[in-house]
Amino acid sequence: MSLTESPQNRLLWSLAIAIFALVFYRFQFAAPLENSTHNDFKHLYLGGRLLWRGEDPYLEESLRAEASEVRHPDLRYLNPYVYPPFTGYLFGWLGRMDYEQATQVWFWFNQACLIGALLLLAGGLSGFTPLAKTAFLLGSVCYSFPLYRAI
Protein backbone atom coordinates (compact mmCIF):
# COMPACT_ATOMS: atom_id res chain seq x y z
CA MET A 1 0.00 0.00 0.00
CA SER A 2 1.33 3.41 -0.92
CA LEU A 3 1.76 5.93 1.86
CA THR A 4 0.03 8.54 -0.28
CA GLU A 5 -3.65 8.25 -1.00
CA SER A 6 -6.06 9.64 -3.49
CA PRO A 7 -8.66 12.13 -2.26
CA GLN A 8 -11.31 9.44 -2.73
CA ASN A 9 -9.43 7.00 -0.48
CA ARG A 10 -8.87 9.70 2.13
CA LEU A 11 -12.59 10.40 2.12
CA LEU A 12 -13.44 6.69 2.51
CA TRP A 13 -10.94 6.21 5.36
CA SER A 14 -12.24 9.36 7.06
CA LEU A 15 -15.81 8.08 6.76
CA ALA A 16 -14.77 4.71 8.21
CA ILE A 17 -13.03 6.46 11.12
CA ALA A 18 -16.13 8.57 11.81
CA ILE A 19 -18.38 5.49 11.83
CA PHE A 20 -15.99 3.50 14.04
CA ALA A 21 -15.67 6.46 16.40
CA LEU A 22 -19.46 6.65 16.80
CA VAL A 23 -19.71 2.90 17.40
CA PHE A 24 -16.80 3.07 19.84
CA TYR A 25 -18.43 5.93 21.74
CA ARG A 26 -21.77 4.12 21.92
CA PHE A 27 -20.45 0.73 23.02
CA GLN A 28 -17.39 1.70 25.06
CA PHE A 29 -18.47 4.96 26.71
CA ALA A 30 -22.21 5.58 26.63
CA ALA A 31 -23.50 2.03 27.23
CA PRO A 32 -21.20 1.16 30.15
CA LEU A 33 -21.80 4.51 31.83
CA GLU A 34 -25.59 4.29 31.37
CA ASN A 35 -26.27 0.79 32.56
CA SER A 36 -23.70 -1.60 33.90
CA THR A 37 -23.62 -3.92 36.87
CA HIS A 38 -19.80 -3.85 36.92
CA ASN A 39 -20.02 -7.62 37.41
CA ASP A 40 -16.31 -8.47 37.51
CA PHE A 41 -15.30 -5.18 39.05
CA LYS A 42 -17.68 -5.42 42.00
CA HIS A 43 -16.22 -8.74 43.08
CA LEU A 44 -12.65 -7.51 42.72
CA TYR A 45 -13.53 -4.33 44.61
CA LEU A 46 -15.08 -6.22 47.53
CA GLY A 47 -12.37 -8.88 47.52
CA GLY A 48 -9.66 -6.23 47.53
CA ARG A 49 -11.22 -4.48 50.50
CA LEU A 50 -11.36 -7.75 52.42
CA LEU A 51 -7.85 -8.88 51.51
CA TRP A 52 -6.28 -5.56 52.48
CA ARG A 53 -7.82 -6.02 55.93
CA GLY A 54 -6.54 -9.59 56.14
CA GLU A 55 -9.98 -11.17 55.72
CA ASP A 56 -11.04 -14.03 53.46
CA PRO A 57 -13.01 -13.00 50.34
CA TYR A 58 -13.68 -16.66 49.46
CA LEU A 59 -16.16 -17.02 52.30
CA GLU A 60 -19.60 -16.13 51.00
CA GLU A 61 -20.67 -14.55 54.29
CA SER A 62 -17.57 -12.30 54.30
CA LEU A 63 -18.26 -11.09 50.77
CA ARG A 64 -21.94 -10.46 51.52
CA ALA A 65 -21.15 -8.65 54.77
CA GLU A 66 -18.71 -6.40 52.93
CA ALA A 67 -21.31 -5.70 50.24
CA SER A 68 -23.88 -4.73 52.87
CA GLU A 69 -21.33 -2.39 54.44
CA VAL A 70 -20.65 -0.68 51.10
CA ARG A 71 -24.41 -0.37 50.42
CA HIS A 72 -24.65 0.05 46.69
CA PRO A 73 -27.41 -1.33 44.41
CA ASP A 74 -24.82 -3.03 42.15
CA LEU A 75 -23.80 -5.21 45.09
CA ARG A 76 -27.19 -6.83 45.73
CA TYR A 77 -26.41 -9.85 43.56
CA LEU A 78 -23.04 -11.49 44.04
CA ASN A 79 -21.30 -14.54 42.70
CA PRO A 80 -18.56 -16.29 44.64
CA TYR A 81 -15.16 -14.60 44.67
CA VAL A 82 -13.15 -16.74 42.22
CA TYR A 83 -10.13 -14.57 41.51
CA PRO A 84 -6.59 -15.31 42.72
CA PRO A 85 -5.61 -13.37 45.85
CA PHE A 86 -3.05 -11.39 43.83
CA THR A 87 -5.82 -9.71 41.83
CA GLY A 88 -7.65 -8.74 44.98
CA TYR A 89 -4.50 -7.16 46.37
CA LEU A 90 -4.06 -5.24 43.11
CA PHE A 91 -7.58 -3.86 43.46
CA GLY A 92 -7.25 -3.07 47.15
CA TRP A 93 -6.28 0.56 46.55
CA LEU A 94 -9.64 1.10 44.84
CA GLY A 95 -11.35 -0.18 47.99
CA ARG A 96 -10.18 2.94 49.80
CA MET A 97 -12.59 4.93 47.61
CA ASP A 98 -16.35 4.77 47.72
CA TYR A 99 -17.82 2.36 45.18
CA GLU A 100 -19.07 4.99 42.70
CA GLN A 101 -15.74 6.80 42.67
CA ALA A 102 -13.84 3.51 42.29
CA THR A 103 -15.96 2.44 39.30
CA GLN A 104 -15.26 5.77 37.59
CA VAL A 105 -11.52 5.54 38.26
CA TRP A 106 -11.49 1.97 36.95
CA PHE A 107 -13.53 2.93 33.87
CA TRP A 108 -11.15 5.74 32.90
CA PHE A 109 -8.09 3.66 33.73
CA ASN A 110 -9.40 0.98 31.30
CA GLN A 111 -9.86 3.62 28.62
CA ALA A 112 -6.35 5.02 29.16
CA CYS A 113 -4.83 1.53 28.94
CA LEU A 114 -6.71 0.84 25.72
CA ILE A 115 -5.55 4.09 24.15
CA GLY A 116 -1.99 3.38 25.28
CA ALA A 117 -2.13 -0.09 23.72
CA LEU A 118 -3.46 1.35 20.46
CA LEU A 119 -0.63 3.89 20.36
CA LEU A 120 1.90 1.10 20.87
CA LEU A 121 0.30 -0.99 18.13
CA ALA A 122 0.19 1.99 15.77
CA GLY A 123 3.97 2.19 15.85
CA GLY A 124 4.23 -1.40 14.62
CA LEU A 125 1.92 -1.03 11.64
CA SER A 126 4.22 0.03 8.86
CA GLY A 127 3.17 0.37 5.27
CA PHE A 128 -0.21 1.91 6.05
CA THR A 129 -1.24 5.51 5.76
CA PRO A 130 -2.14 7.27 9.01
CA LEU A 131 -5.85 7.25 8.09
CA ALA A 132 -5.83 3.54 7.23
CA LYS A 133 -3.94 2.75 10.44
CA THR A 134 -6.38 4.78 12.53
CA ALA A 135 -9.41 3.15 10.90
CA PHE A 136 -7.99 -0.34 11.39
CA LEU A 137 -7.11 0.20 15.05
CA LEU A 138 -10.35 1.96 15.96
CA GLY A 139 -12.41 -0.63 14.09
CA SER A 140 -10.63 -3.45 15.90
CA VAL A 141 -11.67 -2.18 19.34
CA CYS A 142 -15.04 -0.51 18.82
CA TYR A 143 -16.92 -3.68 19.84
CA SER A 144 -14.28 -4.87 22.31
CA PHE A 145 -16.19 -7.10 24.71
CA PRO A 146 -13.35 -7.43 27.26
CA LEU A 147 -13.22 -3.65 27.72
CA TYR A 148 -16.99 -3.42 28.12
CA ARG A 149 -17.07 -6.41 30.47
CA ALA A 150 -14.17 -5.29 32.67
CA ILE A 151 -15.92 -2.09 33.59
- How many structural domains are present in the chain? 1
Q: Examine residue 11 and state whether it is found in any structural domain, yes or no.
A: no
6 pLDDT higher than 50: yes
Cα–Cα distance for residue pair 47/150, rounded to 1 Å: 15
Inter-residue contact 23 to 30 (CB < 8 Å) = no
Q: Examine residue 49 and state whether it is found in any structural domain, yes or no.
A: yes
What local confidence, expressed as pLDDT, does residue 111 receive?
85
3 pLDDT higher than 70: no
Q: Examine residue 14 and state whether it is found in any structural domain, yes or no.
A: no
Q: Examine residue 13 and state whether it is found in any structural domain, yes or no.
A: no
Q: Examine residue 122 and state whether it is found in any structural domain, yes or no.
A: yes
pTM tops 0.85, yes or no: no
Q: Examine residue 79 and state whether it is found in any structural domain, yes or no.
A: yes
Q: What is the pLDDT of residues 22-76, one digit of tens each?
A: 998 888 888 777 776 677 889 999 999 999 999 999 999 999 999 999 988 888 8
Q: Examine residue 4 and state whether it is found in any structural domain, yes or no.
A: no
Instruction: State the residue range of the domain holding 132.
Output: 19-150
Q: What is the pLDDT of residues 62-119, one digit of tens each?
A: 999 999 999 888 888 899 999 999 998 988 999 999 999 998 898 889 888 888 988 8
Q: How many helices (H) and strands (E) does the chain have?
A: 8, 0
Q: Examine residue 114 and state whether it is found in any structural domain, yes or no.
A: yes
Inter-residue contact 138 to 21 (CB < 8 Å) = yes
